[in-house]
Structure 1
Amino acid sequence: MYSQRLNKIRTYLLQFIYLATAVSVGFQAWREILMPEGTWDPIYGVTYSVWAAYALLMLLGIRYPYKLLPLMVLQFLYKLIWVVGVYYPLYTSGKPAGEELFLSWRVAILVELIVIPWGHFYTSYIKGFLKKSAIKTQTSG
């Protein structure tokens, strides 16, 4: 009973994160795409195109929260990589930039770390991949 209730709460939290991401990222990305200010550098255009597509896929996560866990893990990983690989070196070098982003992302990273069902993710995505990789190695060797 407790486990079912916990799973229901986790599902609702996942759906909320999918929705919040779709709205926040999607609003900014689609606004830039539909009402650009001048011409874009190609990389800038790619960035907003990826974010717009990402936001649309996050909407699917509301309906299929466990099937689209890789999107949630992607979100967790890019934030974590940014904090460790971009923010931390800037901070330790005495050139703190991105402080506001860091403050919001450290909360998001913690929430995602708690909400993502890591056991389910491992069982559904990693375990099968590792088995297939091991079988491939044994048959090709």
Structure 2
Amino acid sequence: MLVRPVVQFLAPDPRHDGVRPVQIWGLRLFFFLMLVFVASFAWRVLLTHEGPWDPVRAIAFAVWATYPALALFGLLHPLRWLPLMFFTIGYKAIWLAFVAYPLWQAGTLWGTPTGEVAGSFLALPLLAAVVPWGYAWRTYFAWPRRVIEARPTSASEAG
């Protein structure tokens, strides 16, 4: 009896353009986690900060306050808000490659604040796993297909 609901949860769903319900709920989970953890942390820092800001640090916290607040919309419409996931995957992958990886190679990453951030970013493969890449490709990256209409021939136009 349990097999049928599990199969339906894993099968492509025509109501969601062929995206599996497990991916829809996975996206909703990550949008929820962004909203609860990242937004609350960023807004707390912004609202309690005293004194002048370092401009680059201020930009980082402004971005961290904004994009997870938008995750509220992703909870409601996860496929429409996939670009927010692309942004999240992109900045975390870039940060891991350019900041964390060299420190890890040098053996100086863990036990530092940078190591703590890197540890929180290591869930990146799970985030990438819930993205419906086929849908994303068709919707956001592939060239639109042109519909070629049958043009009447000269003889039929005269007709």
Which position in structure 2 is the counterpart of 1:101? 117
- Could you say what secondary structure the match of 2:96 adopts? helix
Poorly superposed stretches of 4+, deviation over 6 Å: none
Choose 1 or 2 for highest CA Rg. Answer: 2
Mapped to 2, the partners of 1:118 and 1:29 lie a distance apart of 29
Q: 1:69 aligns with which of 62, 79, 82?
A: 82
Structure 1 regions of 5+ residues with no counterpart?
A: 132-141
Mapped to 2, the partners of 1:25 and 1:103 lie a distance apart of 14
Mapped to 2, the partners of 1:128 and 1:37 lie a distance apart of 49
Structure 2 regions of 5+ residues with no counterpart?
A: 1-7, 14-18, 146-159
Give the CA deviation at 1:14.
Answer: 0.5
Cα offsets for 1:104-128 (capped at 9, x unmatched): 322x111012101111111110113
Mapped to 2, the partners of 1:46 and 1:82 lie a distance apart of 15
Which position in structure 2 is the counterpart of 1:36? 49
Which position in structure 2 is the counterpart of 1:110? 125
Report the TM-score when normalising by structure 1. Answer: 0.80
Cα offsets for 1:18-50 (capped at 9, x unmatched): 010111111011111222133212222222111
Distance 1:100 1:42, change over 3 A: closer
Which position in structure 1 is the counterpart of 2:136? 121
Report how many aligned residue pairs link the two structures. 129
Deviates more, 1:94-103 or 1:43-52: 94-103
Superposed CA RMSD? 2.1
Give the CA deviation at 1:101.
Answer: 2.6
Mapped to 1, the partners of 2:36 and 2:93 lie a distance apart of 21
Aligned partner of 2:130: which letter? V
In proportion to residue count, which structure has more helix?
Answer: 1
Mapped to 2, the partners of 1:47 and 1:79 lie a distance apart of 13
Identity, % of aligned pairs? 32
Aligned partner of 1:101: which letter? V
Give the CA deviation at 1:65.
Answer: 0.3
